[in-house]
Amino acid sequence: MNFSALRSSFVAIPLHPLYLFTLAFMFGIIWQQSGYWSFLFLIIFALTLLFGAKFQTQLGRGLKIVSLFAALGFFALGALRVQQEEAAFDQFFRSVLYKKCIVTAEVKDLEPDYRREGYCLLTLAVQKLDDGKKLIHLAHPYSFQFSLKNDALVGGKKLPEPGDILLIKTLYFRPPPEGGYRTYLVKERLVGQIQYSYAEISLLSHPQWSWRRFLFERRNAIIDGVRPHLEPLTFTLFASVFLGKKTVDAGDMSSIRDQFRPWGILHYLARSGLHLMILVMLLNKVLSFFPIPYGIRNMLVILLLLVYLLVSWASISFLRAAILSFLYSICVIMRLQIHALYLLVLTCFLVLLVNPLQLFFLDFQLSFLLTGVLAWLNALKRSQKTPLSVKSVN
């Protein structure tokens, strides 16, 4: 193997310190979950990058040492973020274990419970917890899912609406077993799904206006407005690809998947960053026909993307593409140099900083890894076409 050629492929692209710091942050997350081996791998990787590779900026020895200590700081930050999430989750169950809880919660979302006919699934954000003696302090705002009969009366209404404040008496929370399901709950900041038919539920408050209810009604208005004008199969594809709604007409979706699976193109049915980038290009093309300054045009694109994000159901790949589009537009407006790989790494760091356990799930890994490889190859191809003298000046 020609290691010099392999090394030159990496060194040919300007290596920004953010790449190293983000990798250190990721290894800190892994180490907190997996043990000491990632710490050793981090040291080897950091030494290889800092002292074996040659940065385009020609860092001096002092700056390399500073970068190394900064990377160790990001490593500690990654481990700390995971520890914070895990500790808050454990603290919740230590506070409520073996206790009858009275819960005050806000309705975040409402959808049919596809696993139980005649039931709906409420996603409730916990506001207060009372064990009968004292209020329980929550380190993090957690939610839980509650399965409720469709004909249940809550405050004189058949079903509560997003934004309503409910009082639920006599709930028991049990900690999940160790494993992938527990990690999923920590990532989603959920404390479980409760199927309890005899809880006493009352409506504490129904605000005249709620942003949760407003978005819920807008989303359903789009679904209900489009459904009569499309064939069932076409509507299912529209809801999945354009709105990210995966649970509409699950039977039709299953038949479509069976047709796409043998060809290996099942991922086309899921809304991804590619769909958003196509939308961004179309918006820019349409707006280019109007006499609008370039900066204002990008501000309009950001505004339209934000509206689209709010009225649809987001996935991690969609969020990645949305954040990338926002950062790209901000760079254009502020006339900053744009580097796709740098923006992708910055997006990855921001997502993991908010929710570090995303790193352990396949949707995050595939979304960022595949996009990162494409961005890296594109940057490598451009660097090979650009003379070295020009690259060093830039």
Q: Does a structural domain hold residue 284?
A: yes
Q: Does a structural domain hold residue 106?
A: yes
pLDDT at 192: 84
Q: Does a structural domain hold residue 393?
A: no
Supply the range of the domain harboring residue 11. Answer: 3-90
pLDDT at 277: 80
Residues 377 and 234 in one domain: yes
| Helix, strand and coil percent figures for the chain, each rounded to 5 | 60, 15, 25
CB 342 within 8 A of CB 297: no
What lies within 8 Å, CB to CB, of 181 at 6+ separation is none
Q: Does a structural domain hold residue 213?
A: no
Domain boundary among 58, 73, 90: 90
Q: Does a structural domain hold residue 376?
A: yes
Tell me the H-state helices in 124-210. Answer: 180-188
Residues 227 and 245 in one domain: yes
Residues 225 and 337 in one domain: yes
Element (H, E) at 28: helix 17-34
CB 375 within 8 A of CB 328: no
* CA 233 – CA 253 distance, rounded (Å): 8
CATH number at residue 174: 2.40.50
CA–centroid distance for 352 within its chain: 9
pLDDT along the chain (394 residues), means of 10: 48 69 86 66 58 50 74 90 91 82 88 80 88 75 85 71 88 84 90 75 87 90 86 79 70 67 65 77 87 86 89 86 88 83 92 93 86 81 59 41
From 34, 45, 37, 54, select the one nearest 72 (Cα to Cα): 45
Q: Does a structural domain hold residue 327?
A: yes
CB 278 within 8 A of CB 246: no
Q: Does a structural domain hold residue 394?
A: no
Residues 286 and 374 in one domain: yes
Structure tokens at 108: 């975040």
Residues 86 and 102 in one domain: no
* CA 107 – CA 172 distance, rounded (Å): 19
Residues 349 and 241 in one domain: yes
Residues 116 and 254 in one domain: no
Residues 63 and 138 in one domain: no
In one-letter notation, the amino acid at residue 65 is I
pTM above 0.75? yes
Q: Which residues pair with 148 in a beta bridge?
A: 120
From 370, 338, 369, 364, select the one nearest 351 (Cα to Cα): 364
Residues 39 and 75 in one domain: yes
* CA 285 – CA 204 distance, rounded (Å): 49
Domain boundary among 208, 242, 273: 208
Residues 121 and 65 in one domain: no
Residues 189 and 237 in one domain: no
pLDDT at 356: 94
Q: Does a structural domain hold residue 171?
A: yes
* CA 186 – CA 89 distance, rounded (Å): 7
> Considering just the CA atoms, what is the radius of gyration of the chain in Å?
25
Residues 198 and 313 in one domain: no
In one-letter notation, the amino acid at residue 295 is G
pLDDT at 116: 77
From 330, 377, 321, select the one nearest 348 (Cα to Cα): 321
Question: Beta strands of the chain (E only): which ranges?
Answer: 101-112, 119-130, 143-149, 165-171, 190-195, 200-205
Our count of domains for the chain comes to: 3
Reported residue count of the chain is 394
Domain boundary among 26, 56, 90: 90
pLDDT at 350: 95
Structure tokens at 377: 């190859």
